[in-house]
């Protein structure tokens, strides 16, 4: 299996899943959103992630979301599709589905709910998936959602597997990112999953980011990538401080997936910020504050 060749400073978007007035997946709105983001210059699409509310989707809806994303991306950028599940067999089923849909890689977490897994258990899970994975796999380290981080020794060992080609680090711990970069092969892709830590992580050798706000202010993230590749640290720091960090903090105050949808709807990228329970939308005052921070972020470009 080959890895996904991202340029330094590449940013992929973990896209939201739009819902229509009946609460169903709005495939047309999703396709339009993907088209907008690809045209804006982002480097990849990541459907069925945390921001995409994968845990609130049926298996059939997950397939629809991935198929729609692949079709809309049309080979212009890689599609890394969420395939997380609590079991080895379920994870492999999702990987088979995203492979059949045409995704370039699958994104998997540790089994959620089992939040006291030993390092040996983590290794056994990832090895079992890697043994039969039909396409390249990127690990998704998100302890806030699964209950524990990926053990560094486990990561170092699993990164040697041919099927395992990268890591999305959403621990929120820059030191963990440093360890991940240091202990994995040079060809192994490490991306920062916390938007406000993308710039601080750049000096540690991350390849780029998978960042939710890139679907709201793609202009900012594209400009940040350009600044990083050009070695323009002053420009990169300005974009971080004036645009990304303040909007990230605002969205984090109101539930990140709902707030991201509100922000994307403010840009006109999705028609409505509907979410599914248990998520709820911010109140009107919060929506106005989010919109104001989006506008301020765009002024920084």
Q: Is 112 a catalytic residue?
A: no
Q: What is the pLDDT of residues 202-229, one digit of tens each?
A: 999 999 999 999 999 999 999 999 999 9
In order of 108, 165, 169, 213, 264, the CA distances from 130 in angstroms are 11, 10, 19, 30, 35
Tell me: pLDDT of 264 over 80. yes
pLDDT at residue 58, as a whole number = 98
Structural domain count, the chain: 1
Contacts for 50 with CB less than 8 Å, ≥ 6 apart: 14, 142, 145, 170, 256, 257
* Structural domain contains residue 197: yes
Question: Contact at 8 Å (CB) between 189 and 209?
Answer: no
Contacts for 20 with CB less than 8 Å, ≥ 6 apart: 26, 29, 272, 274
Burial class (CB in 10 A: 0-12, 13-18, 19+), 268: exposed
The predicted model gives 276-292 an average pLDDT of: 97
Let me know the angle formed at the C-alpha of 25 by 23 and 28, rounded to the nearest 5 degrees. 125
pLDDT at residue 3, as a whole number = 52
CATH code of residue 198? 3.20.20.70
- Local structure of residue 150 (DSSP, 8 states): P
Q: Is 261 a catalytic residue?
A: no
Q: Which residue has the higher pLDDT, 115 or 50?
A: 50
SS3 169: strand
Q: Tell me the residue range of the domain where 191 lies.
A: 10-232
pLDDT at residue 117, as a whole number = 82
* Structural domain contains residue 180: yes
Residue 77 CA from chain centroid, whole number: 14
* Structural domain contains residue 259: no
- Local structure of residue 195 (DSSP, 8 states): G
* Structural domain contains residue 239: no
* Structural domain contains residue 38: yes
- One-character DSSP codes across 39-56: HHT-SEE--SSTTTTGGG
Percent of the chain with pLDDT over 90: 95
Tell me: pLDDT of 1 over 50. no
Catalytic residue among 8, 112, 113, 140: 140
The predicted model gives 101-114 an average pLDDT of: 95
Q: What is the pLDDT of residues 2-48, one digit of tens each?
A: 456 778 889 999 999 999 999 999 999 999 999 999 999 999 999 99
- pLDDT band at residue 192, thresholds of 50, 70 and 90? very high
> Could you give the CA distance from residue 291 to residue 118 in angstroms, rounded to a whole number?
43
Tell me: pLDDT of 83 over 90. yes
Residue recorded with tokens 């059939």: 60
The conformational region for residue 156 under phi > 0 = left, psi -120 to 50 = alpha, else beta, is alpha
Q: What is the mean pLDDT of the chain?
A: 96
Q: Which of 154, 204, 156 is nearest to 178 (CA)?
A: 204
Question: Contact at 8 Å (CB) between 273 and 265?
Answer: yes
The pTM of the whole model exceeds 0.85: yes
pLDDT at residue 7, as a whole number = 80
Q: Which of 268, 248, 256 is nearest to 37 (CA)?
A: 268
* Structural domain contains residue 296: no
* Structural domain contains residue 248: no
Query: How many C-beta atoms lie closer than 10 Å to residue 249's C-beta?
Result: 12
* Structural domain contains residue 175: yes
The conformational region for residue 102 under phi > 0 = left, psi -120 to 50 = alpha, else beta, is left
Catalytic residue among 8, 112, 113, 168: 168
The predicted model gives 233-243 an average pLDDT of: 98
Contacts for 206 with CB less than 8 Å, ≥ 6 apart: 169, 177, 181, 190, 191, 192, 198
Q: How many helices (H) and strands (E) does the chain have?
A: 13, 8
């Amino acid at each position: 299996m080959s890895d996904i060749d991202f340029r330094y400073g590449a940013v992929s978007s973990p896209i939201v899943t739009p819902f229509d007035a009946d609460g169903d997946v709005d495939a047309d709105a999703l396709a339009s959103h993907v088209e907008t983001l690809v045209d804006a210059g982002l480097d990849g699409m990541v459907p069925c992630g945390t921001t995409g509310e994968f845990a609130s989707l049926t298996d059939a809806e997950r397939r629809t979301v991935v198929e729609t994303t692949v079709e809309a991306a049309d080979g212009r950028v890689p599609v890394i599709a969420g395939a997380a599940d609590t079991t080895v067999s379920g994870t492999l089923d999702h990987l088979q589905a995203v492979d059949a849909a045409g995704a370039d890689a699958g994104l998997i977490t540790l089994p959620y709910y089992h939040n006291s897994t030993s390092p040996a258990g983590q290794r056994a899970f990832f090895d079992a998936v890697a043994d039969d994975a039909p396409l390249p796999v990127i690990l998704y380290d998100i302890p806030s959602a699964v209950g524990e981080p990926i053990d560094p020794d486990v990561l170092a060992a699993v990164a040697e597997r041919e099927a395992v080609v990268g890591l999305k680090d959403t621990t929120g711990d820059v030191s963990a990112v440093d360890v991940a970069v240091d202990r994995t092969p040079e060809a192994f892709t490490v991306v920062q999953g916390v938007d406000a830590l993308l710039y601080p992580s750049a000096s540690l050798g991350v390849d780029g980011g998978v960042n939710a706000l890139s679907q709201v202010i793609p202009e900012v993230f594209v400009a940040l990538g350009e600044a990083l590749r050009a070695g323009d640290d002053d420009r990169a720091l300005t974009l971080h401080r004036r645009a990304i960090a303040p909007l990230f903090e605002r969205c984090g105050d109101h539930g990140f997936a709902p707030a991201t949808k509100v922000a994307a709807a403010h840009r006109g990228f999705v028609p409505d910020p509907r979410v599914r329970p248990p998520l709820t939308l911010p109140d009107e005052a919060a929506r106005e504050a989010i919109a104001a921070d989006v506008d301020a972020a765009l002024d920084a470009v």
